[in-house]
Structure 1
Amino acid sequence: MYTIGQFSKIGKVSTKMLRHYDKIGLIKPSFVNPENQYRYYERCQVKDILKINKLKIYKFSLEEIKQIIEDKSNETLKKLLQKQVDYITNEIHQNNNILFELETCVKSLKKGDDIMASKRSFKISMDNLNDKLILSLRDRISMDNIANLIGKIFENIYQNNLKVCGNIMTVYYDEDFDENNADIEVCIPVDRKLETNFIKTRVLKGGLHVHTTFIGAYSEIGEAYAELTDWIEKNNYEIIGAPYDKYIKGPDSKCSPDEFITEVYFPIKQK
């Protein structure tokens, strides 16, 4: 058997953390001396502490690691591994986009360009849109987790043999934007109604909308929002609902962020 100090060195984990693991039931000593409360661990527990260390490298929480270890069928591990694959893949896409923007900024600065000066012009259009049947998920999440919502919707689409009938859209419900706690709904148009215990279709109302097309990285899409907001005010209209983005061309197109195409819509009425 190993003392807690020896097990700490073997597992590269502090004795303080081992005591915490014991407290939360993640990995308990095989024997505790009733006289002095010294903790002892067995050889077979080495694989457990090494597994915990590996799962922490994979960015799992201690609660998730506990679920994985308790599920001997490995079903929880499969599910959570796929979740991390999706999450990290999304992070890689985002970081690649940021890297591209940084490299573009460096090149522009070397040419003497003003990287803060916008060269975009916007065509503003107003249309009466038709209602759309959508499958959607609404949640209050970090903007970085939008891809997870999209993935969950597509999973339900494939499981229920629905047909995708349009582009992915994201509706923004907050009056004040909070990147880390945004009230958003991801929507995908589908061909028929569906209602389960977890997700169901609804109708995205049409009606009068003003919209424009934005070409460029998502971090700069505020220009389109500003143009539409100004147009609405100048033309004596008012916003009557949550705006939404429709993704025409994005990371899945394997193009650079400055080639992304997003349509921005505001529902309006005459004042």
Structure 2
Amino acid sequence: MLSIGEFSKICKVSTKTLRYYDEIGLITPDEINPENGYRFYSISQLKKMLLINRLKSFHFSLEEIKATLEMEEDQSEEKLYSALTRKKREIQERLNAFEYTLNQISYDILNLKKGKSIMSHLDYLEVQLVETQPMNLLYIRQMMSSDDYAAGYGKYFSRLYEKIAAEMLTLLGTPMTIYHSPEYNPAGNDTEFAIPIEEIIKGTRDLPGSLCAKTVLKGSYSELTSVYAKLWEWAENEGYELVKSPYEVYMTDPYQANVPEDFITEVYFPVKKKQQAKHHLPKLTSNGRHTK
């Protein structure tokens, strides 16, 4: 048996962390002396602790590690393979995002050296005024926190595609997200995930056609904020106002595109022309007095 200090030294994990792991049920001492509370670990637990350390180095959360360790022995290798494959994909996505960020920083540095504004990319976003056609949407509407979005997009669109496949529905377009909240709230935003289909069934709704200001983003979703700013600026300059919830249509599947630069997203602002305020001049009567 190994004392908690010896176990800590071998595995390079503090005794405070080991006590916390015991509290959450991640790894518990094989023996605790009832008289003095001293904790002892068996030699066989070294392998388990090394696996925990290894998974932590792969950026697994403690919850993910605990779920992995709780697998049945006959399924553990298969589940571990799936977990590692999934984590590898997540890390690759982060690497792609970091690579895109590095490229963007390099691009901005180059622009600054040339005397250009760091926000000059907004000048290249083209806005069109288009009439959209009505769509029948299969949808899921949820309150989404800022932390939910990354996982939420895949989760809810997957559910919609599963329903389409199970009920053999006719796909008429690519996934889209409609943002219904009047303002941004980190705690939760009213978000609708939708896919256009032909059949009118339970879980579908009509999206009427409308006049829209439209622009196309070719690049990372992180640039969508710039697109929205551009659309608001265009609407203000051209005398239009937003009348319905804006939405995004994802023309490329992020799981099929190799790098963020390949993402193509259409952004729509349903708008109408602002009414011009009418200024009535007072009329003069025959005696020269003003009338109302």
TM-score relative to the length of structure 2: 0.74
Q: Bigger CA drift: 88-97 or 260-269?
A: 260-269
CA distance in 1: counterparts of 2:184 and 2:22, whole angstroms? 41
- Structure 1 residue 26: deviation in Å? 1.3
Match for 2:102 among 91, 99, 102? Answer: 99
Q: Which amino acid aligns with 1:171?
A: I
CA distance in 2: counterparts of 1:45 and 1:121, whole angstroms? 58
- Structure 1 residue 179: deviation in Å? 6.3
8 Å Cα contact 1:163-1:190 kept in structure 2:
yes
CA distance in 2: counterparts of 1:19 and 1:140, whole angstroms? 35
Match for 2:178 among 154, 166, 171? Answer: 171
Q: Which residue of 2 aligns with 1:226?
A: 232
CA distance in 2: counterparts of 1:185 and 1:121, whole angstroms? 25
CA distance in 2: counterparts of 1:132 and 1:86, whole angstroms? 33
Q: Which residue of 2 aligns with 1:57?
A: 57
Structure 1 unpaired stretches of 5+: 196-200
CA distance in 1: counterparts of 2:90 and 2:269, whole angstroms? 30
CA distance in 2: counterparts of 1:114 and 1:64, whole angstroms? 44
Q: Which amino acid aligns with 1:7?
A: F
Q: Within 5 A, what are the aligned runs for 1:30-179?
A: 30-72=30-72, 73-74=75-76, 77=80, 80-117=83-120, 118-120=122-124, 122-136=126-140, 138-142=142-146, 145-146=149-150, 148-150=152-154, 153-154=157-158, 157=161, 160=166, 164-178=171-185
Q: Which residue of 1 aligns with 2:287?
A: none
Q: Deviations over 1:101-136 (max 9, x none)?
A: 112112223333333234236343242521223344
Q: Bigger CA drift: 100-109 or 112-121?
A: 112-121
Q: Which residue of 1 aligns with 2:207?
A: 205
Q: Deviations over 1:170-209 (max 9, x none)?
A: 22223222568544333233455787xxxxx422512323
8 Å Cα contact 2:127-2:231 kept in structure 1:
no
Q: Which residue of 1 aligns with 2:249?
A: 246
- Structure 1 residue 45: deviation in Å? 0.6
Mark the CA change 1:57 to 1:177 in structure 2 (over 3 Å): closer, same or farther: same
- What is the DSSP-based 3-state SS (H/G/I as helix, E as strand, rest coil) of the residue aligned with 1:221? helix
Q: Bigger CA drift: 92-101 or 178-187?
A: 178-187
- What is the DSSP-based 3-state SS (H/G/I as helix, E as strand, rest coil) of the residue aligned with 1:119? helix
Mark the CA change 1:128 to 1:139 in structure 2 (over 3 Å): closer, same or farther: same
Q: How many positions carry a matched residue from both structures?
A: 262
Mark the CA change 1:103 to 1:204 in structure 2 (over 3 Å): closer, same or farther: farther
Q: Deviations over 1:210-239 (max 9, x none)?
A: 13123444422133331454268x24x551
8 Å Cα contact 2:125-2:216 kept in structure 1:
no
- Structure 1 residue 153: deviation in Å? 2.3
TM-score relative to the length of structure 1: 0.79
- What is the DSSP-based 3-state SS (H/G/I as helix, E as strand, rest coil) of the residue aligned with 1:99? helix
Q: Which amino acid aligns with 1:230?
A: E
- Structure 1 residue 82: deviation in Å? 5.0
RMSD: 3.3
8 Å Cα contact 2:178-2:193 kept in structure 1:
yes
- What is the DSSP-based 3-state SS (H/G/I as helix, E as strand, rest coil) of the residue aligned with 1:114? coil
CA distance in 2: counterparts of 1:151 and 1:41, whole angstroms? 40
- Structure 1 residue 83: deviation in Å? 4.5
- Structure 1 residue 8: deviation in Å? 0.4
Structure 2 unpaired stretches of 5+: 276-292
